[in-house]
Structures are given as C-alpha cells and as structure tokens.
A and B are shown apart, each in its own frame.
Chain A
Amino acid sequence: MNNENISERLNKSKVSTWVADNIVSLIFVAFTLFGFLVSDGVTMNFFLTELSSRFFRNAFLVLALVIPVVAGLGLNFGIVVGAMAGQIAIAIVLYFGWGGLNGLLLTMLIALPIATLFGYLTGMLYNKTRGQEMIASLMVGYFANGIYQFLFLFVVGVIIKVPKTHPMIKPDGVGVRMTVDMGAYDKGGLKYTLDKIWEIPFMWAILAIFAAILLLQLWKIIRNKKNPALYRYNKTMTVINIILCLAMIAISVQAITTNSSLMMVRKVPVVTGLFIVALCIFNELILKTKLGQDFRSVGQSQHIAEVSGINVDKTRIIATIMSTVFAAWGQIMYLQNMGTLNTYGAHTQIGMFSVAALLVGGASTQKAGVKHAIMGTILFNSMFIMSPEIGLSLFGNALLGEYFRTFMVYGVIGLALGLHVWRTNKKGKVTLN
C-alpha cells in the first residue's frame, strides 16, 4: 500500500474511525438483531432470562482479564489455570462435605493461596516468554490441564488415599468422577449458595442499575463544573447516556407498574451482582494507586518503566496473580450457579470464551476496561443464545448454529487480534515514513 493512501485513510472522518474501532461489537449487535428478525421462537422473556443468568455467571471471569491487558501482558488465556485452582478448592470443600454460605466463603479462601501460587508460576513463565505471552498463555492452559488431570485421576486415590465409597470418587477408588453434584444450597451443598441469598425481580434490577448510572453521570457533570481543568468529559456521550438511562428507567417503571410480561423474567441474584460490581470498582480504583500506575507504565513500555525504576518483572507477576485469583473466584461463582462440577471439562473453554467476550466488547490486546468487559459479556452471550435459533430457523438445523457459534468464538478472537496488529503495524509504518 502506498503512503498517500495510508495517510488519506488515517485522515478519514471520525465516523468511519469509530466504525473501524468497534467493528467487532457492531457485527455482534447486527447478528443479535438479525436473530430476532428471523427466528420467531425467541420471546423477549426467554432471551432476557437466558442473558441475565449467563451474564451473572460469566461477567466475573471476563473482568478478571482486564488487569493483565493494562499491564501489557495481552489477553490472558491462562485464566484457565485460575479456574483450575477454583475447581481444586471446590473439590476439597465438597470432599469434606462442607457447604452453605460458609462453605462457599471457605472455598474462596482455599482457592486464594492455590491461585496465588499458580499465578506466580504463570507470571514467571510470561516473563520468560516476553512478546509471546498470548500463545504462551494458551499453551500453559493446555499444559496445566495435563497436570490437573494427573492430579484428579491419579494422585487422588493412588497417592492420597481416599475411601472408595465416597460419592465423589470413582467406584474403583482411584480418581474423581466425571461429574460431581454440588448439592442444593438449603441442604448443605454449594449450588446457588451465592445466588439465592437475595433475589430481586429483573425489572427492579434494571431500574436500580440505570438509576445508579444516571446518578454517576450527574455526578460527573457536577464534578466537571467544579473543576473543569481536572476532568475530561465527553459532552455528547454523557447526554446520550443520560437519555438512555431515562428511557430504560421509564421502561422498567412502566413494566413494574403495569406488571407486564417482562416481570416474568427470572429473578436476578443480587449478591453475585454485587461481587461483579465490586470487581468493576476494584479494576477502576486500582488504576488510581501506585501499583495501577505501574501496571500502566509497564503496559506502555517495559523499557521506559524499567528505566524509571519500576520492577517490571515483579509488576507483571502481580498482575498475573491478580488475574488468576479473580479467575479462580469467578469459576467458583460460575460453578455454584451451574450446580454440578464437570471435573474435566468445566475449565477448558473458560479462557477462550472470556477472551472472546472481552474482545467483542471492543477491547484489544493493549486496551481494556470494565466497560468493555461488561458490554462484551452481554453481546457475546446474546450471540450465544441466538445462533442455534438462527441455525434452526434459517436452515432447519440447530447443529449448524452450534458450529456457527464455535466459528464466531474463534473468528472473533482471530479477527480482533489480527485487525489490531495490522493497524499497529500500519501506524508504525506511517510514522517511519
């Protein structure tokens, strides 16, 4: 491509840049809308029920990916290792028959040191594979899966003696069963322990969320009025946000007062939601601390960070540990919602799906935030719900939709990564010339 062409392209209008920046998200929005158009089997209720339960299951895991991106490690497919730590903790707790809310908190406590250790080791590995962290993180997931299977199929039973009669152990006394039931929350199990603490109707949750966002926007405006020099703020975006919030509040109030069919959507787990909000706030606040600033400077240039006295290796390891620990907790929250521990399969796809979700939200290997994670989880799961429906109604074959879904997962990761690298390379060329 010749230079004139490139500079011309770079000077194109803002709209086309915005489209190019958000192309992946736009594809997903279009796909979901298309799904609604062609499939008549999907009611709004079904869709929202599915979406909200998937959202509360996955959001925490997707949020666990944000910190490594900020610290320049790229997309951490290695959260699979964190998920394994979570599952080891669950297995320990289930083996001893602890349950209930205390059992769940204990699981998180047990997962903490395990995930820290795993995160430390993967962090060291990433420091050795500088520049190739993403492929290394993918491979470390596969590698760790081997060790995980060794632990669950062999060490349990051969090295650690366990009773044959235990419901978790395979009948021959060696290894953990393929699926382990986690038990109901009210009978001393782990299923729904977090979700069932407090549930509110879906529309009330929408009302609360958008009221909170509205307050946040107003606070931003007031803050900006007081101190215009200190805070950046985008007027049009704020106005759009406020209008959106008002519209959503109006819809939810209308639904609540008229008790419309939207009230039939499955209730929302408040405590799980609070955990997600807490992680969002944590991800935002940490950037304001010294550590967060170190993450940022390491992410921008390891060399400059090193020169300015930041311990780059240590900072990267801390970022990996945080991500791994959050992934472990995220996996525990995911599994308490699923209710069964799929011992050898529950963790394998986590990395891939979470990364795809984050990318769909508009993140890239160098830029990711809470906003991307939340938007991405919603959009990605919408696609997940819609694609079998589209396959069924367009081609009369749900299997086609399943394959299409897989294609979208891999394709979106490939596309988003490829586009990003391509543009970075192109920009590099322009400045050189």
Chain B
Amino acid sequence: MVDISRKGTSFNDIVKKIGFPTIFIGGFWILLLIAGGALGISIKTLISDTIKRAGMNGILVLAMVPSIQSGTGPNFALPVGIVCGLFATVLAIEFGFTGWAWLFVSIAFSIPLSVVVGYLYGKLLNAVKGSEMTIATYTGFSIVAAMCLAWLMIPFKSPNMGWFIGNGLRETIQLDVIGGDKILSNFLSFSLFGENGLITVGGEKGIIIPTGMLIIFFLCCFIVWIYFRSKSGIAISAGGINPKFAQSSGIDIDKCRIKANILSTIMGAIGIIVYSQGYGYTQLYTAPLMMAFPAVAAVLIGGASAQRAKVSHVIIGVIIYQGLFTTALPVANQLFEGMDLSEILRMVIQNGIILYALTQVKGGDN
C-alpha cells in the first residue's frame, strides 16, 4: 500500500510498486502515441481501436489469473479453453441459432464442455507437478493439432461453415451471416467526441465504446475478483503461495488446482466467443495455436509475476499490450514504409516479457 504521509517516496519505490515492465512498456506506448500524434495519425482512432482490442482479448487474459494464483503458472494451455469455446460456437451454428440466441447458446454450451475438459486438464497438471509450464504448452499445441483433425472430419451440415466442396469446416467462419458479427460490441455502443459533441449513441466517429463487450469483460473480472475473495478462492491462493503450509492447514491443494484450472478453461472458452464476435470471424484450425502467448505477456505486462496475479493486472496489462501494438502498426508504417516492424516489435516484447518473468521464478526442481 502506498503510504500517503510519505510523500517523498523515491523514484525507485514507485518503480517497485508498479513494476519495471509495466512502466517500461507503458512508457513506450505513450511515446508511440505522442509520435503518432506528431505524425498526424488520429489519436481518437488509435484509442478507439485500443479499447476494442482490449475488450476482445480481455477475458482471454483474465484466464491467466486463476491458474497463476493456484500455483500452476500462467495458463500456457489456453488453447484448451479456446477450442472448447470454438466447438461450442460451431455447435450453436450447426443447430441453427442466430443473433443473440447464438451468443448465449454458445456460451451455455461452452461452460459444461470446459468444466469437463478443465477437470481433465487439471488432473494432468497435478500428475506433472514441477514442469507445468512446459507440459501445458505442449498440451495446448497437441489439442489444437488434434482439433485440426476434428474440424476436418466433423460431419456438420450447416452451409454457413462448410467448405464449398468436400467436407469439414472452413478455416474462417463469417459471423455476419448468422447475425453474430459485433453483436456484443454494438450493444449500447456510443462514441465520445464523435458526431454530436461529447456522446453520440451508436456513433461511428470519435472514440467508440463497445459497451456490451466491456460489460461482459468487467462482469467476468468481477466474478473472478469476487471468487478470489470467497473461501474456495482464498484456498486456491493459499495453495499457490505455499503448498506445504496450505496442505498442513487442511486445504486439498490438488482439488484447488483443478478448480482453478476449470475456471481458467471456462474463461478461455468464453474469451474466444467474445473475441470472435468482436472480430467478426470464428477462426478454426491452427489459429488458436499461439494465442496463449499474447495473453500471458499481457498479464505479465500488467504487473503480474509467474506466481502472483490480480484482476487489476489483467485490466492494466491488456490495455497497455493491445494499445502498444495498435499504435505501433500505423506509426511504424509511417516511419518506415513497407516494413512490418510492428510484428517484429510484438515478437520481441511479447516473448521478452515472458522470458523476463521466467527469470524471476525462484527455485527449481533441483
């Protein structure tokens, strides 16, 4: 806690409180925003894109909190949750749901599915204590690859998702045909500093606020926040901080870890549904393969470590991470034409931050 009476806190204290990566990358983002403004790129568009992308990715990043808190490390097996969400999505489309019904049915299908899958995944993690992160990564990769086979062989008949010839599902399913495109994002959306002064309902210019998407994101944040204040949530955190101590005080750690990973898988599943509606397309096959890494990086940028994470880290992290790359793309394009420097920047920052977090993990198997 910041002590108000000690106003003369040194620079180092502030850095320590907020965390070096957050300040460094956040500062870099602000610099890029200023550079963008100077180059004549619309700051409003940049901020509006940032909010949109933060809303899309928010729940996926939120999925990191339960698994980190339970001591299994960042959920590198996020694709496990994602494929549950994708499967629920295509199932809902196959049954012919459209619009809001599609959205709710997808979410309703995805929850029981991810509970089962998350339970199995939690069991797996309990069997491989000590190497969770590596095994989780490969579990995620294997599931995505296995689902590639499933998407190709699944006997679904809906014309909205099949290839035009042959069987199997398309690589990208357009959601506008079933009325699912930006259904949440456009719900109660308004724009700031747009057409009619401060607030324009349903405005297209200025800073667009995708109200519906943000509501569901903050709702999920609230659920996770409140859960980690409940008895069961506190048990999970305690198990994550000191497993031996928690065990001796009568907490069943294995069960806690399973619970946390079920929650994380559910968040992954809901996260991808929200992501898909915001994007307008559902991407199958290898699209989810690398999705865990940006989410891990975002929560780490927000100030989390591989052992501790809070909901506030998610919100700060996803805004800075998505903001940085929405800003970097047009700015880099203006400065160096014809080169995708922002992609390189993304690779270096995203993987660099994960490496940095790994160096902070204390101890080891030896």
Residues of A within 8 A of B (CB): 72, 125, 128-132, 134-136, 138-140, 142-143, 145-147, 149-150, 153-154, 158, 172, 174-175, 301-303, 395, 397, 399-400, 403-404, 406-407, 409-411, 413-414, 417-418, 421-422, 425
Residues of chain A with a CB closer than 8 A to B346's CB: 146
**Inter-chain contact total with CB atoms closer than 8 Å:** 139
Chain B 309-366 interface residues, beta-carbon cutoff 8 Å to A: 336, 338-341, 343-348, 350-352, 354-355, 358-359, 361, 363-366
A143–B355 CB distance below 8 A: yes
4 more A-B residue pairs beyond the given contacts A138-B134, A140-B351, A146-B348, with a C-beta to C-beta distance below 8 A: A132-B134, A139-B351, A145-B347, A301-B366
Chain B 123-141 interface residues, beta-carbon cutoff 8 Å to A: 124, 127-131, 133-135, 137-139, 141
Residues of chain A with a CB closer than 8 A to B188's CB: none
Q: In whole angstroms, how far apart are the Cα atoms of A131 and B130 in the complex?
A: 8
Does any Cβ of A come within 8 Å of B152's Cβ? yes
Measured CB to CB, the nearest residue on chain B to A411 is: B142
A128–B359 CB distance below 8 A: yes
B361–A417 CB distance below 8 A: no
Q: In whole angstroms, how far apart are the Cα atoms of A417 and B343 in the complex?
A: 31
Residues of chain B with a CB closer than 8 A to A302's CB: 366
B359–A411 CB distance below 8 A: no
Q: In whole angstroms, how far apart are the Cα atoms of A399 and B168 in the complex?
A: 11
A130–B364 CB distance below 8 A: yes
Residues of B within 8 A of A (CB): 76, 124, 127-131, 133-135, 137-139, 141-142, 144-146, 148-149, 152-153, 166, 286, 293, 336, 338-341, 343-348, 350-352, 354-355, 358-359, 361, 363-366
Residues of chain A with a CB closer than 8 A to B341's CB: 150, 153-154
Residues of chain A with a CB closer than 8 A to B129's CB: 421, 425
Q: In whole angstroms, how far apart are the Cα atoms of A55 and B312 in the complex?
A: 51
A134–B134 CB distance below 8 A: yes
A421–B135 CB distance below 8 A: yes
27 A–B contacts from the bound complex (CB under 8 Å): A72-B366, A125-B359, A129-B355, A129-B361, A134-B131, A135-B133, A135-B137, A135-B358, A136-B358, A142-B347, A142-B351, A143-B355, A145-B347, A146-B352, A147-B348, A150-B348, A395-B153, A403-B149, A404-B149, A406-B145, A407-B149, A410-B142, A413-B141, A418-B128, A421-B131, A425-B128, A425-B129
A153–B141 CB distance below 8 A: no
Q: In whole angstroms, how far apart are the Cα atoms of A381 and B311 in the complex?
A: 46
Chain A's nearest CB lies how many Å from the CB of B85? 20
Across the A-B interface, give the 10 residue pairs with the lowest CB-CB distance, nearest first.
Answer: A131-B364, A146-B347, A414-B138, A407-B145, A143-B351, A146-B348, A410-B141, A403-B148, A130-B364, A128-B359
